[in-house]
Structure 1
């Protein structure tokens, strides 16, 4: 048996296809098979609804084959209300669900009865949950369950873990230990770069240049998953792939903004082996067993080694069978990053940032959820909360601040009845001030903050109210549309007809070049560890087996300027089109490099250098100005940058965006109300007013503290800048050249992406690329690169 009687928690680390999920259920199947009992015995938590449904299929077969009297059901947002009520009244032996559905179950008064016989909780894809607020909320819920069921055992399952002890501390009931079991990792994957006849472009994020080679690989394999880092790039690639699909190979598309019906249709076709390829995003990252997938193609640099390992594992989903994967860089820089990522995978060098303490907005929501179920004692709840791994170090003062906020809204909002949510009874137990608030809280449970989106639906035929749902787009994109505009959705071109009852009504349109719909979703930044590996790769005595065009580019950079180094910051200065240009190579990720541009241009303004603008990538920030930067140390001083950041943050749209997310999770802003839903614009307007009010009258308010922490960590990425400045300790290599440098040249193409209607846009961009490369000394590459093997 995996478990030992003394283990309150166990973490099983095994490669994809190793059978760890079924292994996690074995003790439950044995116990239920020998002594069937009524009520809920085992809870299975996964980050994806589809994972729960997939696990139900996988569990039902062995249970049926052995004739075991075990009921297995799944519960998610897609489960009908009738089924949910039945599950509460008569829980199955094994319930498969998500963190949000568990939190909702714990908010009901009958939660102690529902979970009375619970013996085991199995948490799948633990590493994915641990990287988000969903995991923090789940650990708080497990602490609540532990109080109801003291003998409860926890099992965490994961395939990609960079720091097993840290993840074990995350899932274990603090301060109890967690037993770690690591399986044989199995064979290394068969992974390499996809060879193409056309070199990758100098900039951009897509892989359209390699459509012929991708189609060739699809034709040679049973089923290929083609991963993209963003939903928008997946849509573009699928459209181009389909246009070039002369053989009519069955190909689908799958991402989180598509309608549930379309996703289920693609999933069913994959299981049945009816698709030769699926263009997808992170919606297929995790442990789903999709038929005969024998190849994974990652389009664009993976940005994160763990993510790449997870995606590679979708191919040959069997233990002791090497997964096969090809990586397709989207531009020249990514050719280097992709090679570094492949090396990291084969070296089992996973990346990851240290775990932060649990966020307080999630704790505020948990306090509200607890109050919905029953009156609670503050001392008891504090003890429960500090039993959760992410909150083990929470002080009582921090807990009290959260409790006060949930009860009254905080100092500046105490006078408003709408934020008076809790009251203390004579017996010192806290309860909801108005029991009707429970329904509102339940409708807003969760930590996933969706970008404001609207449903997209085919316009119904004459007399019909609505047609087939296609998915959703961001509200800001929908607001920019006028009747007749076309855009890509689910791989097809649709025509905007009207906005009706908060839905985008469309019809089919095959004729014109479409706009690109804007989808919510994470935009990845290159991890710190991968950035360091890229810098190390550039300085090896013998460069690895990179494409010839990339090797020539690197060589020319070392001649014209110099190569960036890990322990130093490279700053290049040169003139271009009568403007001074400064290029800062920080390798800190896109968010951090953008923030660095804002901070440095602020310093340049104070120095009278007349900054005019900047552009940033994962690797560098390019700034253009009236006067040159002659002493980079003046604009890269850590203390001055920090001071400048404080002033810039005070009244910034990013801070308001971060505030809106924290306020929504903490329950200050309510998106969903019984009988209606506020639009994104209404919620934004409301959050902006609250933000300005709190800044003026209560600058130390809990939510403003949370907002600053969130913005620094995520949206702004100042932690990566601080890490870069600490690592380099003021060591700057300043190079002044008479021309645009080879490494800086691609950044000009980011600036020069002027929208030009019609077929001439690509030609103009290519002409601009050729001109810039020629000026930077890459004339030979421009002349010969078109025929170079990529």
Structure 2
């Protein structure tokens, strides 16, 4: 009997067919990708596959009268388990350890992440555990050891948990390079990826392994998606108030379940909802908790343990609890606001009913009327499994440069051998000889413009051609900088205590604290705090007595509407245009859509709705491609530039996930200038670069690239450089390269990343091609329609304070509701505002204006 069969028999469990398939595949030495429902048993599928093949139970002890305390010798490092998040490591370790104890297998399980203590690291330096749970960054750091090859000599299997979270970013590329090195040392290495939400599984397999088996763990599991319907809707919605008028309904829903996860899309939103729930139900103090990535590790660990024990009524959280953590007591999930993506919604739904056979349920809580539309669309998209595809980045050279220095530290490398190894990683399969030689020159002397500076001589070959790092100081700096996650500098938040520092509460971004003065209040970690002082990258705080507080704004929270969900939204509008309102959400939305259809029209999959309006501000064009915020920003700038080619025009721009607004102070007849040629994708790259301040965008993007490539150093522990210092340093390099080394490939990469990530040019081109196939439906409107109103609010945000904006909205809504007639619901326009992380920061100087030379001016 195999170890897996023995353990399952102990629990009277019967393995699923997909688990047996994985066990047999690993027994045969095969690699693969396991795509299975959340909570179906993916972890034990691959873990027991490894144990069946590589482990043996302890031999039965011989009868002896002499007691022994000698512990059995543990197996050497055999399995590497890669997790995308440190929060998953402890939970995974517990799951892997359980069968080892019960079956008496002489294996040990350990963790190596950024949270690992120095004492544990020291123990691991003497001997690593049999199974090591680690992150891509920590794995690369281990590979920089001089004896790395000997350390990993016994590794036989590598598992990548939640592969979809790494596939589409530079962390995944970093893992590809580390995996290429491990395969070079052990060509028979078995590799398995795990995921529950991959839309392009063949690509995911190609990136992770050259040859493998796709195992589908399809189990009959109910995934229930419903909506918490408000008593009425605004016919003229706007994003910004976070649905707190539904607080009473949310409280009622929480009362019906023993344990609930309340997901929000941003950390700011989580802070506000946690405080609101606590104010509504003060008797739940101690039963409500808050969890997001900026809270201290101790707080997060406490919340996760209390969840497992079923000691909490509800936890308000962000994506910090999205992945793989197994909380059996969680009965249901609430999602505040639109999830913006199908895969994200399914992932969060899977946090409830996290066991085979148990249904998973997620309830959507709309924060404004149009999110009812997204809720209805999300239900259809989930039912049809329209899961978003994720694509691996193509040869990011900053990651390659970092990897070369790491390999020079890890015993050194021969250039030709490492080139073949690097090209075996999917992201670098098309790496050219010229790009390789540039990368070698860059780590040797910093390229053409930095040869005089010794800090950029990070690796060089010896007489035998072995590349190594010659300077111990540079080696230490590099090890401290390994990784591809780049964020704004953050400050620790600690309690103020006389005579020394109090306990830690977490961290907040430097840009937020910089706007506060001592005595100002802010909401953090579910508490109303007052800033006492800022010193040595630490914000000292105490409890505040004032009720007025700012809410921290963290970057990284913008979540654009995915193509799959956007298409589902357009399908719902198309049904409504035919008079079909099949779901409760759409029936509740009918008054809004009726006004939209009466004053203008409803967008469909076959038409491109354009609304033209003349006001005291000027000539407005509202366009609804439903392609997501980033595409609409690029499209709006492109259209403004192309419209300005015939005459000098200046436009103000506003965008959201549904559409865009162009406002021109000068007379312009949109009905005449909106032609198919305006949406032509020919010369798209040239026109996009001409329509935007691409140089400034590339300069901002270069900050991340410079940090990853090792040009700028973030600082030592306790003496981290500020975001302003890093930006200044990277900008200096950017200017030097532009002037003295214009062919530097990092400059090219910065421009490519701006086009690919910030402007999403590929999706923009696809959108233009789709728009050309649609019938242009131009409507002259007398006033802002329900779809146009949110775009007006977006534009007003950039020039008005929250108080003035609330007053402006209140007046506008009253006028529009009066024009629309009876049937509307008067929302609370005085509802509290929040710093909306999904909203881009004001883009100063973004308005294109044609100059005498035909180039855009600001």
- 1:331 matched to which residue of 2? 368
Matched, 1:707 2:747: no
CA distance in 1, matches of 2:612, 2:548: 40
Could you tell me how far 1:591 is from its partner in structure 2? 1.9
List aligned pairs for 1:392-471, cutoff 5 A.
Answer: 392-460=429-497, 462-463=498-499, 465-471=500-506
- 1:238 matched to which residue of 2? 274
- 1:266 matched to which residue of 2? 303
Structure 1's 659 and 196: CA in aligned 2 closer, same or farther, altered over 3 A? same
- 2:284 matched to which residue of 1? 248
Secondary structure of residue in 2 paired with 1:468? strand
Structure 1's 563 and 547: CA in aligned 2 closer, same or farther, altered over 3 A? closer
- 1:32 matched to which residue of 2? 55
Q: Which moved more, 1:602-611 or 1:333-342?
A: 602-611
1:71-121 CA-partner distances (Å, limit 9, x unpaired): 111111111112112112111111111111101000111211211111111
Could you tell me how far 1:641 is from its partner in structure 2? 5.9
- 1:213 matched to which residue of 2? 249
CA distance in 2, matches of 1:539, 1:243: 42
Structure 1's 643 and 25: CA in aligned 2 closer, same or farther, altered over 3 A? same
- 2:706 matched to which residue of 1? 663
Could you tell me how far 1:339 is from its partner in structure 2? 1.2
- 2:181 matched to which residue of 1? 144
1:214-234 CA-partner distances (Å, limit 9, x unpaired): 111111101111111111111
Could you tell me how far 1:276 is from its partner in structure 2? 0.7
Q: Is the 8 A contact 1:659 1:707 kept in 2?
A: yes
Matched, 1:306 2:343: yes
- 2:777 matched to which residue of 1? 733
- 1:544 matched to which residue of 2? 582
Q: Is the 8 A contact 2:169 2:393 kept in 1?
A: no
Matched, 1:188 2:228: no
Which of 194, 219, 231 aligns to 1:197? It is: 231
Matched, 1:628 2:668: yes
Matched, 1:75 2:112: yes
List aligned pairs for 1:638-787, cutoff 5 A.
Answer: 638-639=681-682, 642-649=685-692, 652-673=695-716, 676-729=719-772, 731=774, 732-753=776-797, 765-775=809-819, 778-782=820-824
CA distance in 2, matches of 1:719, 1:539: 26
1:444-471 CA-partner distances (Å, limit 9, x unpaired): 00110012222222211x22x2112122
Q: Which moved more, 1:620-629 or 1:602-611?
A: 602-611
Q: Is the 8 A contact 1:360 1:706 kept in 2?
A: yes
RMSD of equivalent CA atoms: 2.3
CA distance in 1, matches of 2:125, 2:79: 15
CA distance in 1, matches of 2:826, 2:476: 66
Matched, 1:489 2:489: no
1:586-623 CA-partner distances (Å, limit 9, x unpaired): 22211222233333334445444643522211111112
CA distance in 1, matches of 2:621, 2:818: 19
Q: Normalising by the residue count of structure 2, what TM-score does the alignment of the two structures yield?
A: 0.86
CA distance in 2, matches of 1:757, 1:725: 35
CA distance in 2, matches of 1:488, 1:89: 45
CA distance in 2, matches of 1:227, 1:493: 21
- 2:550 matched to which residue of 1? 515
CA distance in 2, matches of 1:362, 1:338: 38
Could you tell me how far 1:757 is from its partner in structure 2? 7.2
- 1:566 matched to which residue of 2? 605
List aligned pairs for 1:328-367, cutoff 5 A.
Answer: 328-367=365-404
Could you tell me how far 1:353 is from its partner in structure 2? 4.2
CA distance in 2, matches of 1:343, 1:433: 59
Secondary structure of residue in 2 paired with 1:413? coil
CA distance in 1, matches of 2:222, 2:618: 50
CA distance in 2, matches of 1:650, 1:121: 44
CA distance in 1, matches of 2:396, 2:720: 26
CA distance in 2, matches of 1:769, 1:413: 59
1:754-789 CA-partner distances (Å, limit 9, x unpaired): 76577x9756644433334445xx333435789xxx
Q: Which moved more, 1:689-698 or 1:302-311?
A: 689-698
CA distance in 2, matches of 1:567, 1:666: 46
Structure 1's 727 and 231: CA in aligned 2 closer, same or farther, altered over 3 A? same
Which of 571, 574, 596 aligns to 2:635? It is: 596
Could you tell me how far 1:642 is from its partner in structure 2? 4.0
- 1:17 matched to which residue of 2? 39
CA distance in 1, matches of 2:353, 2:428: 39
Secondary structure of residue in 1 paired with 2:362? strand
CA distance in 1, matches of 2:216, 2:126: 39
Unpaired runs of at least 5, structure 1: none
Could you tell me how far 1:419 is from its partner in structure 2? 1.7
- 1:505 matched to which residue of 2? 540
CA distance in 1, matches of 2:635, 2:814: 29
CA distance in 2, matches of 1:281, 1:620: 27
Q: Is the 8 A contact 2:537 2:719 kept in 1?
A: no
Q: Is the 8 A contact 1:7 1:179 kept in 2?
A: no
Could you tell me how far 1:490 is from its partner in structure 2? 1.1
- How many matched pairs? 778
1:466-492 CA-partner distances (Å, limit 9, x unpaired): 112122222121111112211111121
1:609-638 CA-partner distances (Å, limit 9, x unpaired): 643522211111112221234212375454
Unpaired runs of at least 5, structure 2: 1-22, 59-72, 829-858
Which of 328, 343, 352 aligns to 1:315? It is: 352
Q: Which moved more, 1:353-362 or 1:516-525?
A: 353-362
